[in-house]
Amino acid sequence: MYDYGECHVCGKQMKERRVKQDLWVKGKLILIEGVPAGVCPQCGERVVKADVGLRIAALIEDSRQLRKVRTIRVPVIRFAREIA
Ligand SMILES: [Zn+2]
């Protein structure tokens, strides 16, 4: 298993987990499941290895991939202006 080292925020040892990575691509929100990442058990900070980052970039570059995916609906909530 890859050693993600210590969390750069709080110093705890990172643990490898499979996570959902969300990212915006050309105005569309894309969710990638099963991404191996280092997750901090204390503060929740996440890091991905450089090669995983490159794989993600390659996945979203490949438009054939995007045509065969399933789509989910997500609720959108606007943060109240008077609180901000
Ligand atoms: Zn942490």
Quote the ligand 1 centre to 58 CA distance (angstroms). 28
Quote the ligand 1 centre to 13 CA distance (angstroms). 8
Both tokens of residue 32?
């990638």
Higher confidence at residue 6 or residue 59?
A: 6
Has residue 44 been placed in a domain? yes
Q: Could you list the residue range(s) of the whole structural domain that residue 24 is in?
A: 15-67
Has residue 38 been placed in a domain? yes
Quote the ligand 1 centre to 49 CA distance (angstroms). 17
Has residue 8 been placed in a domain? no
Higher confidence at residue 84 or residue 64?
A: 64
Has residue 3 been placed in a domain? no
Model pLDDT, residue 84: 59
Global pTM exceeds 0.85: no
Residue 22 sits in a domain of what CATH number? 3.10.20
Model pLDDT, residue 44: 96
Has residue 7 been placed in a domain? no
Quote the ligand 1 centre to 6 CA distance (angstroms). 8
23-42: string of b/e by CB count within 10 Å (b at 16+)? eeeeeeeeebeebebbbbee
What's the number of domains the chain is made of? Answer: 1
Has residue 76 been placed in a domain? no
Are 30 and 22 in contact by the 8 Å Cβ rule? The answer is yes
Has residue 72 been placed in a domain? no
Q: Note the pLDDT tens digit of each residue in 28-74.
A: 888 999 999 999 999 999 999 999 999 999 988 887 777 778 899 98
- Indicate the residue type of 45: E
